[in-house]
Amino acid sequence: MTTSTCGHEYTISLLELKEERALYQQFCDILQSLLPEQPLSFFIRPSLSNKEALKLIYQQHVSEPLALHEMLEKAQLCMSKPVLISKSYTCMPLRLDDQVIGLLWIYAVLTPANCNLTAHLMNVFFHQLHTLALARIDPLSQLLNRQTFDEKVLEIASGQGFLQPRDEPDPRRWYLALFDIDHFKRVNDSFGHVIGDEVILLTAQHLKENFRAEDYVFRYGGEEFAILFQAHNDSEAQSLLDRVRGVIRSVTFPQVGQVTLSVGFTDVTDVMQVSELVNQADMALYHAKQHGRDRVVFYGTLEGVSLQVTTSDIELF
Ligand SMILES: Nc1nc2c(ncn2[C@@H]2O[C@H](COP(=O)(O)OP(=O)(O)OP(=O)(O)O)[C@@H](O)[C@H]2O)c(=O)[nH]1
């Protein structure tokens, strides 16, 4: 962070950033230099999804922080105000569609000048975050798009989680699953592309709802979805994917009725190339398609079998 104290320079420094992690870091650096003596906590929902809980991003000089639910309750007090100032604290909530998607809580009363500048910079930060988030979204399904996929896989394979890992004694590992809607061409041919698009959208929503907020759900291609998710082991991953497959199988899609999915998955190791990882999940998906569809296949169970699949048979992405 520069030593500048100029609001304009702070604004420019936020708008220049094209990567979310750097944007968070910059905003936290700004808070540190703008409010060096103030105890504060800064929370945000990193994906801007209202399903996700607020995460603590930054804290300084805080000895006894308020519980998050207390903060949220207090934030509700300023529904129509951009900033809430009491005798002992200043609260700046960020809102999107009536949801609090971020919260800066300062355990002190700011001067009006500092308060205005901080509120302004918080809005600049949020709008830049929102712009970056929109560039990562597929417009039809509202899932993360293909362009974001490689970036996230590399991030995960190199051991950098964007979010803090859950505090569990038995850590979970990352897996990649490829979901493909079965006989989707028939849906388009029988009902038209508009209904086909609706099936893609509804499937995307069900997938998103059935994975955790910290997992990543992508629209990978036309009727294909890629999921980066966590499980303790291979059998837990298999059960989770089978459950999701079952959920979608039980949905009655308007006009179309039942839709099934084939799924191939593999575990993510830190030495993998993205292409190798996708190739493994794709081989498992291919196997699921070849063995009746509407099933989940783990790449790790394909030893020997995968060798029978010739490269020309595999639809690489
Ligand atoms: N409506 C709609 N259709 C799409 C979209 N993207 C791809 N498709 C169609 O999805 C269909 C995929 O067909 P195939 O690759 O033959 O696969 P399938 O019919 O699902 O058969 P299996 O995968 O073998 O079960 C093609 O007809 C594409 O035109 C999209 O965004 N919207």
Structure ipTM: 0.96
188 lines ligand 1 (CB under 6 A): yes
* CATH 3.30.450.40 placement within the chain: 7-134
Average pLDDT, the chain: 86
221 CA: nearest ligand 1 atom: 6
The SS3 of residue 137 is strand
Range name among 157-161, 225-229, 269-273 with the lowest pLDDT average: 157-161
Does residue 72 carry a pLDDT above 80? no
185 lines ligand 1 (CB under 6 A): yes
pLDDT tens digits for range 264-298: 999 998 767 888 999 999 999 999 999 999 999 99
Does residue 153 carry a pLDDT above 90? no
Instruction: With cut-offs at 50, 70 and 90, classify the pLDDT of residue 144.
Output: very high
pLDDT for the residue 160: 64
| C-alpha dist (Å) from residue 273 to 18, 86, 156, 170, 264 | 24, 53, 12, 26, 18
- Given strand 84-85, what is the order of strands in its sheet? 55-60, 40-44, 99-106, 90-96, 84-85
* CATH 3.30.70.270 placement within the chain: 146-313
Q: Which CATH architecture has domain 146-313?
A: 2-Layer Sandwich (3.30)
**CATH number of the 7-134 domain:** 3.30.450.40
d(CA 40, CA 58): 8
Does residue 185 carry a pLDDT above 60? yes
Is residue 70 flagged as an active site residue?
no
Please compute the mean of the pLDDT values over residues 115-131 and round it to a whole number.
91
Catalytic residue among 223, 236, 276, 315: 223
Please compute Rg for the chain using Cα positions. Answer: 23
d(CA 124, CA 16): 11
Does residue 49 carry a pLDDT above 60? yes
194 CA: nearest ligand 1 atom: 1
184 lines ligand 1 (CB under 6 A): yes
Phi, psi dihedrals of residue 191, rounded to the nearest 5°: -120, -10
183 lines ligand 1 (CB under 6 A): yes
CA of 80 to the centre of ligand 1 (A): 46
